[in-house]
Structure 1
Amino acid sequence: MNLRGIVAVSGRPGLFKLVGQNKGGYVLESLDAQKVKIVANITTTKLASLEDITVYGEDDDLKLLDVFANIVAAKGNVPDTKADAKDLKAFFLEVAPGHDQEKVYTSDMKKIVSWYHLLKELPLFSEAAPEAVVDQDGVKIEDKSEKKVKASPKPSNAKAPSKTAQPAKKANMTSKKGV
């Protein structure tokens, strides 16, 4: 399952694909049928990558990726977001066993189910997640799928030589001898 670049934006419904970044913010494209592009302000907007989202668990937190994998396995009986709270709770007990029933609210369950309904038509569930390169300490270095291009930026205070500049002329060193 590959959810790289799919984000939830605080204060906006639905999911977005991270397209790029400019000086004003993140360029996002909605995943619904309208494909609206927006620029989310870097300083005021909070983005949450679906890869990083977890669900409160009784022992350990559950990754959203694992919950989605369980929903895909349960295929036929995924409730609608407008389903009864009892149905959602029963469904969530099936797809997220071990979640903390006091901390995970019905609104959270509805949000996860609505995200699934947005993503199920996309090929994201059949794609493999890109592998990460990890060093000896288990720290992620870089992704194999991402190509890094190293650009050598020119320092802003360095001045390039002018093409029209002339080399300095030698001073005339001839002297006159007195007679």
Structure 2
Amino acid sequence: MGLEKILAISGKPGLYELTAQSRGGFIVKSIPEGKKMAVNIRHNVSLLSEIAIYTYTEEVPLADIFEKIKEKEDGGEAISPKSSKAELEKYFAEILPDYDVDRVYTSDIKKIFQWYNLLIKNGFTDFTDSEEAKDKKSEEE
């Protein structure tokens, strides 16, 4: 599974897996705890597959950044999001050298590492978009 079913909900810590849709919103499962809960459509919900990071030339999908971190760390965890601002920015610049320093804040970088580490700890290692995977399969055939 790629990132198309992983959600970030503003005001709620962690990440959630979309399990079903309900009349008034969604049913999600907390990735670390596995607890299910209903999320109302008034909550600000972001699909990780829809998030991109600004560079000076384009926007890079979060899935691509997670893949680059995974390659750098050989599938292991990344730097701690609690590291110093300088360490976080240096590490992020190694992954995405041309990221837009004026539009990508340290808080964004912390959140990326926090999400990446959370997903890796919980066995989510396939960050490719399922549409991309389908396209690649059809090209190979």
Q: Which residue number in structure 1 is paired with residue 37 of structure 2?
A: 38
Give TM-score scaled by structure 2 length.
0.84
SS of residue in 2 equivalent to 1:4: helix
* Aligned AA (2:90): A
Deviation at 1:78, TM superposition (A): 2.4
Higher helix share: 2
SS of residue in 1 equivalent to 2:27: strand
The one-character-per-residue Cα deviations of 1:46-98 (angstroms, maximum 9, x if unpaired) are 21111110011111011101110110011068211110100000000011221
Q: Which residue number in structure 1 is paired with residue 68 of structure 2?
A: 70
Q: Which residue number in structure 2 is paired with residue 89 of structure 1?
A: 89
Residue 99 (structure 1) aligned with residue 95 (structure 2): no
SS of residue in 2 equivalent to 1:48: strand
SS of residue in 1 equivalent to 2:63: helix
The answer to whether the 8 A contact 2:64-2:127 is kept is no
Larger CA Rg, structure 1 vs 2: 1
Per mean C-alpha deviation after superposition, the further-off stretch among 77-86 and 14-23 is: 77-86
Deviation at 1:18, TM superposition (A): 0.3
Query: Are the structure 2 counterparts of residues 97 and 47 from structure 1 closer, same or farther at C-alpha, using a change threshold of 3 Å?
Result: same
Q: Which residue number in structure 1 is paired with residue 125 of structure 2?
A: 125
SS of residue in 2 equivalent to 1:78: coil
Question: Paired residues, what number?
Answer: 132
Unaligned stretches of 5+ in structure 2?
A: 136-141
Give TM-score scaled by structure 1 length.
0.67
Q: Which residue number in structure 2 is paired with residue 54 of structure 1?
A: 52
Q: Percent identity?
A: 33
**1: CA distance between counterparts of 2:123 and 2:82?**
25
Deviation at 1:131, TM superposition (A): 3.5
Q: Which residue number in structure 2 is paired with residue 108 of structure 1?
A: 108
**2: CA distance between counterparts of 1:105 and 1:54?**
13
* Aligned AA (1:51): S
